[in-house]
Amino acid sequence: MEFAREPVLTSALGQLSPTSAKPWRKISELRFKRVQASFKRFRKESKSKSQLMRRRTIAGNWKMYKTAQQTAVFFEQFNPLIEGVGNCEIVIFPVSINIPTAVQATEETAIQIGAQNLFWAREGAYTGETSGEMLHAVGATWVLVGHSERRQYFNESDTDALRKTQAAIEAGLMPIVCVGERLDDHKAGKAGDVLIRQFAGGIAGLTEEQFAKIVVAYEPVWAIGTGQTATPQIASQAHSLIRSEAEKRFGREAAQQLRILYGGSVKPDNIEALIRDPEIDGALVGGASLDPQSFAKIVKAA
């Protein structure tokens, strides 16, 4: 399948290596139960004749940016800007060692905190890795899986993504499973083939119960950090293909419930055009999420 074309640029990508963290179990459990109850209630209440309405999610991936102090300062500025905003879920993924700081800074808000990566084992001799259980214990309720930078720089495979997704769900985390084509695939018109392969290897192996607990993010690698954004048409085509693959494997209702976010140079000036498409259920925001003013504009526009 070949998507509509547009000029592309190469991207300069950052990366995060997770680190371990400690306590905050009580906060973590309370936050997750609140998130889980909210999501279940939304799904139950939002059925219509044609499809299930999907709640929008705006997520900010901070990659390897911000110290603990900078994290605290961000939320001091950001929290008041989105006070009372209820049009979407807000999730921020800081550096792993700053998750406790972020959790504490958002304790009295609806903002949720996630990790950028996890390992599939609960514990063991895996130097430098962090398990889902450890992330949950410090207050994380979400986690990114299979991000393009993990695939590019650390050679993570679709099989790795599947194992991490299963581990995340077992640990009580909600995974955002990332898929998307690279620049050469995009130029060759192979974007659809890549998405089908990534879905088959990284998502189709889930059980129906597990599939109901994930979110998918389409992130065309050629658009990440480049300033080049996929048009709503390109994004919509990709999202439709992903949903089609989900329907083949898990059934129509499950596919209609699946939230699919777009990620790739999302900014305040393009979020409205993207989110207007019914196939786009939110955004995974990179650089624009680092600035409280910019990210608040994106959240409000959604």
Q: What is the pLDDT of residue 31?
A: 57
CATH topology of domain 56-301: TIM Barrel (3.20.20)
Query: Any catalytic annotation for residue 239?
Result: no
Q: What is the pLDDT of residue 19?
A: 39
Of 219, 239, 245, 279, the active-site residue reads: 219
Active site residue 219: yes
pLDDT at residue 46 in the model: 42
**Given the residues 147, 149, 156, 239, the one annotated as active site:** 147
Evaluate whether 260 touches 281 at the Cβ level (below 8 Å): yes
**Separation CA 298–CA 141 (nearest Å):** 22
C-alpha of 81 from chain center: 22
What token pair was written down for 281? 């259920």
d(Cα 141, Cα 144) in Å, to the nearest integer? 11
Q: What Cα–Cα distance (Å) separates residue 153 from each residue in 13, 20, 64, 262, 302?
A: 9, 21, 14, 21, 31
Would you kindly state where each structural domain of the chain is located, as residue ranges?
56-301
> Which residue in 85, 38, 39, 78 sits closest to 62, CA to CA?
78
What is the reported pLDDT for 300?
97
Which amino acid is residue 81, in one-letter code?
A: L
Q: What are the structure tokens assigned to 248, written together?
A: 């083949």
Distance (Å, whole) CA 222 – CA 188: 13
Residue for token pair 């994290």? 71
Cα distance between residue 150 and residue 136, in whole Å = 21
Mean pLDDT per block of 10 residues along the chain (302 residues) reads 46 36 50 54 42 84 98 98 95 98 97 98 98 98 97 96 98 98 91 97 98 97 78 94 98 97 94 95 97 98 94
Q: What per-residue confidence (pLDDT) applies to 260?
A: 98
